[in-house]
Amino acid sequence: MKSTTASAKAIALRLEIEQEDLNFFERLLTKPVEPEEKRKEVLNYCCRQSVAECTVWWKLALFREAGAAGLLREKEPYRHFDLVDEKLREQILVGIKKLPHETLGDFRELVTFTGWFLERVQFVCDAVLHLFLQREKGVYRESPDMSLYTDFFDQKMFRELDVIHEITDRYPFRSLNDQYESWLCDKVLDEEVPV
């Protein structure tokens, strides 16, 4: 009897969470709010649900495409590296404590560089999505060919890796962040994506 009660409570809780999600996505689509306020709502949702912002975009598009039934039926794409990355990050925390004192500065430089690189890759990914939304927002699709977007992404990533390669070939490790940051600042000033 206790297991039946526990199962019923778990199902009721799951239904409550699903209803909150449906209400959230409906509100995002219908409530007339400034974009900044909508994004704050999305970020709050991301914190509460422990999901990435792109997961919200995916679910919002699914909700518009297939409604509540689609959102309840289809699961978000599997994140291939979540479990492995969790273990890796645990090992990093343990490893920092073991690092010789004279290598901590180099480690921080590498953390800074990889953080900027990830930020840049996320920007390029967002730029691809933005390009798609700008081109495909009309009544009909210009073309079902998605190569425009994959080519854009490919070119941006190739250029990114090429710049990093040039920097590492020309400069010592200690200059990596200065040179990469300079290049990143130029990219920000170029305003690659109009907003």
Query: Could you tell me the residue range of the domain that residue 134 belongs to?
Result: 82-190
**Residue at 163 is within a domain:** yes
Numbers of helices and strands, H then E, in the chain? 7, 0
Last residue within a domain, chosen from 25, 44, 73: 73
Please give the mean pLDDT across all residues of the chain.
Answer: 85
> Does 99 reside within a domain?
yes
Q: Is residue 179 part of a domain?
A: yes
Question: Is 100 within the bounds of a domain?
Answer: yes
Q: How confident is the model at residue 140 (pLDDT cuts 50, 70, 90)?
A: low
- The answer on 39 and 110 residing in a single domain is no
- Cα–Cα distance for residue pair 124/158, rounded to 1 Å: 11
- Residue-wise pLDDT tens digits, 5-26: 777 777 777 778 888 888 899 9
CA distances to 21, 67, 132 from 138, rounded to whole Å, are: 28, 21, 11
**What is the domain count for the chain?**
2
Nearest in space to 99 (alpha carbons), one of 111, 116, 115:
111
| Single pTM value for the model | 0.76
Packing angle between helix 104-135 and helix 147-170, nearest 10 degrees? Answer: 160
* 195 in a structural domain: no
